[in-house]
Structure formats: structure tokens, C-alpha cells
């Protein structure tokens, strides 16, 4: 009888092992579906937007500056903030196109 209890106690952890790995796999799958995949998609769309910038486009920088593109280089942009006020910024600091944003409804 004592050996029967030892056998069932030893068999239990082995059977629970595959459910542990199944749950870990399910959690990784869920994280990929709801976190990593959408972030990767958003990053690719943003890079495509930055690569498609051309002179005269209106942009918003990461610092919240609304500007117009004056000159494009490989990694930088020359932007015009106001008449005769220009800034050179890194392309990665462009975060949005103001014309693509929906106007907020006033109540």
C-alpha cells in the first residue's frame, strides 16, 4: 500500500508538467496577439510614413511642434515652424500627420 501512494505521488507532478508548459505557451501566444503584433504593425506604418515624407508636408513632432517640411536628408529633416523659423530634427521625432487626425467634436 505504501508503494502505491509513492507511485501516485510521483505520477502527479509529471502529469502536471505538460499543463504548466501549455499555460506558459498560451500566455506567450496571447501576449503576441494583443501586444507585440499590433506594436510591430504600428511601428512599420510609422516608418513607412516617415520614409514617404516630402517637401511641403505638414507634420507634428514628438515635442508637439506643428511644422512644415522644408528639406529632407537621410536621417534628418529641416522643418519650418513659423515664417523664417527653421529647425533641424531627427526623422524619428516625427510622430503624426495633422491632416490624418480627426477633428475633435465641440459640444
> For the chain, how are helix, strand and coil distributed in percent, rounded to 5?
50, 25, 20
Whole-number pLDDT of residue 17 = 84
How much is the pLDDT for 103? 60
Q: What are phi and psi of 60, to 5 degrees?
A: -125, 130
Distance of CA 18 to the CA centre of its chain: 33
pLDDT of residue 15: 62
The confidence score (pLDDT) of residue 101 equals 66
pLDDT tens-digit readout, 28-47:
999 888 888 888 999 999 99
Residues of the chain with pLDDT under 70: 1-15, 101-107
79 has which bridge partners?
69, 87
Amino acid at each position: 500500500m505504501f508503494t502505491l501512494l509513492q507511485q501516485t505521488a510521483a505520477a502527479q507532478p509529471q502529469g502536471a508538467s505538460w499543463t504548466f508548459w501549455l499555460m506558459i505557451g498560451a500566455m506567450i501566444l496571447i501576449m503576441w496577439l494583443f501586444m507585440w503584433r499590433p506594436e510591430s504593425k504600428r511601428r512599420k506604418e510609422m516608418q513607412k510614413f516617415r520614409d514617404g515624407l516630402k517637401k511641403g508636408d505638414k507634420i507634428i513632432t514628438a515635442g508637439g511642434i506643428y511644422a512644415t517640411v522644408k528639406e529632407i536628408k537621410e536621417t534628418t529633416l529641416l522643418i519650418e515652424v513659423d515664417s523664417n523659423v527653421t529647425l533641424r530634427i531627427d526623422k524619428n521625432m516625427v510622430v503624426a500627420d495633422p491632416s490624418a487626425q480627426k477633428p475633435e467634436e465641440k459640444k
